[in-house]
Amino acid sequence: MPSFDPITRELMIDSLRDYARKKLNYDFIREKDRLNECPYEILREMYDPKILGIHLIAIPKEYGGLGGGTFDLYRICEELARIDLGIATSVFATYLGMDPINVGGTPEQKKYYLSRIAKEGLMVAYCATEPDAGSDLVNLKTKAEHVTQNGKVVGYRITGLKQWISNGGIADLYTVLALAPGGPSWFVVERNTEGFTPAHHEDKHGIRLSNTAGLSFDNVYVPFENLIGGVEGQGLIQAQAVFGYTRLMVAAFGLGCGWSALETAIRYSQQRIQAGGPLSEKQGYMFKLIVPNAINLEAARSYIEYIARRIDNGEHQLQTEGAIAKYFATESGNKSAEDSIQALGGYGYTRDFPVEKIKRDVKITCIYEGTNEIMEMTIYRGRWQEHLKTRGEYYMSMARELEEISKENNESGAYEASLALKALANILEECRINKLTRHQYVTFVLGRLISMAEHAYVFAKTAFNDTLSGTVKFDSATYKAMSRVFAKNTALKIAIEGGWIVLGLNDKSSSVFEKINMAEIEKRQYGILSDMELISKSLVGVFKSK
């Protein structure tokens, strides 16, 4: 589905922000966090079409929704995460819970369920995880057994346990993955079905406003019509089909949390006077705790937007891209929150400032929708195939593209990003020749390096344009400086970390640094100090202390 125009989309974001300003101030959220309480009434209000109608954006128009696209949902998820990641997770659980129906449902099922969710503002829960099956869904234990009448399957009896289910205790509808005789399949279970019992709300490290519960299914009967798609064995395919988009939303959570924490730190840095001047004027503070995080978060945004646009333009199967976005944005968000606590010193460690809570909250983004280690593996698997299929051309052609644009001008660091991509291609090739990917550790490191390199590629291309996305708060000169620093840093990291695994696992690869053109990468590092000065000043200008 295409997204709305930027004006319409940003009006929605403004309304969401206005709602939060009125109803969700930090004192309220802090108290709910302390009490480990889900603000159920608030969620109901947010679903009310007269107040916000937040669930409607993810429902197609023909079923009474507003038919938003991926770019719209990314912006809403980012803004929700800035407000509170627990509330964001709860809203997202409804979006996610509808996906099996949206992707795999029969036309009748879509009409029946999606229209009801739209009209009645139903909360949904997506129930895949089990005590023994997280990312490894093949271990699924929940069973759906046939109930037959005159030899015909008329329904199923579901038995098993689900764990860590967002909205588990409060949802009206549950989409449940269970092992039917024909293979893993999704079923819709209504809240009050006999034999279905949600457990207590978990006492979690963060996102404490999000209701999370285990679920018990004891011989729960559902009619055949509740089998999503009407055919058994489609469950894992249906689950896989939406990972590109769902992981992009978790990436948006990382982005929102990361910026929210960092903005607090930047504003604080202008008020805190130490050794005769504000912290915001000190390199040791800004260049360590603030600037690198701002750069990473903007690199993450450029990639999220690039993928969101591609999905809106009708591209499917962007699972590897979803993993790349999720991995990088959530790692960056987590690090930003961590450094923001440090930036606030003792204050950051108290609950009087929101960064402590954001840090506890954002950690989940590195865990749910596939842990970031699973992301490293997924990214490696997807791109390794491309590397083999194209005989190393996959990244080399991207590098050439950047080299070309750098000839026009290299303000966005396109040349340095092209060095990063070439280095990556050579590292992958070394790994192939020396059969290093038989070691799992190598594959995970490669997953990480691939994620960084593709971010450098997209960031340099995006920053090359003088017209920036309306979501970018910086001027073009600052944005280009961010991309330059990122490209240089990425090239060096790929060279060192990639070189390290190649040399560390194979004693015949001594010439690896020549192959990845380390000399040129070294030569291109100069200039980061003035760029970081520029970025630092710009950050203070954009996020002024109040």
Partner 1 sequence: MRNIFVCIKQVPDTTEVKINPKTGTLIRQGVPSILNPYDHFALVCALKLKKENPDFLINVISMGPPQAKSVIQLALALGCDNGYLLSDPSFAGSDTWATSYALSMAIKKIAKPDLIICGMQAIDGDTAQVGPGIAAQLAIPQITFCQEIELRENKLIAKKHIDDGYDIVETSLPCLVTMSMPKDFELPFPSFVDIVQSLSKEIKIYSAKDIGADENLIGLAGSPTQVLRIYPPPREVKTVYIKSSSVEAVERMIEIMRNENFIK
Scanning 411-498, the segments in alpha helix (DSSP H) are 414-433, 440-464, 476-493
Question: Any residues with CB less than 8 A from the CB of 5 and at least 6 apart, and which?
Answer: none
Q: Is the CB of residue 491 less than 8 Å from the CB of residue 419? A: yes
369 is catalytic: yes
Q: DSSP letter at 160?
A: E
Q: Which of 217, 293, 229 is closest to 260 using CA atoms? A: 293
Residue from 263, 369, 376, 430 carrying the catalytic annotation? 369
The conformation of residue 544, written as its DSSP 8-state character, comes to -
Nearer CB in complex with partner 1: 64/233: 64
Shortest distance, position 471 Cβ to partner 1, whole Å: 12
For partner 1, the closer CB: 10 or 386 = 10
Q: Whose CA is closest to 483, among 397, 405, 416?
A: 416
d(CA 283, CA 285): 5
Q: Minimal distance in Å, beta carbon 8 to partner 1?
A: 6
Q: Which residues bind partner 1 (CB under 8 A)?
A: 4, 7-8, 10-12, 14-15, 18-19, 22, 48-54, 56-57, 66, 473-475, 538, 541-544, 546
Separation CA 174–CA 461 (nearest Å)? 42
| Cβ neighbours of residue 133 closer than 8 Å, sequence gap 6 or more | 139, 140, 141
Smallest gap from Cβ 484 to partner 1, in A, equals 19
Smallest distance from the beta carbon of 92 to partner 1, in angstroms? 16
Going by the DSSP 8-state scheme, the letter that residue 39 receives in this structure is: -
Contact 209, 26 (CB under 8 A): no
Residue placing its CB nearer to partner 1 in the complex, 240 or 545: 545
**Which phi-psi region, left, alpha or beta, contains residue 260 (left: φ > 0; alpha: ψ -120 to 50)?**
alpha
Tell me whether residue 66 or residue 171 sits nearer to partner 1 (CB atom).
66
Name the minimum Å distance from CB 301 to partner 1: 14
Inter-residue contact 261 to 358 (CB < 8 Å): yes
Q: Is 183 in a helix, a strand, or coil?
A: strand
Give the other-Cβ count within 10 Å of 283's Cβ: 12
Quote the least distance from Cβ 372 to partner 1, whole Å: 30
Q: Which is nearer to partner 1, 295 or 502 (CB)?
A: 295
Closer to partner 1 by Cβ: residue 295 or 445? 295
| Residues forming the active site | 369
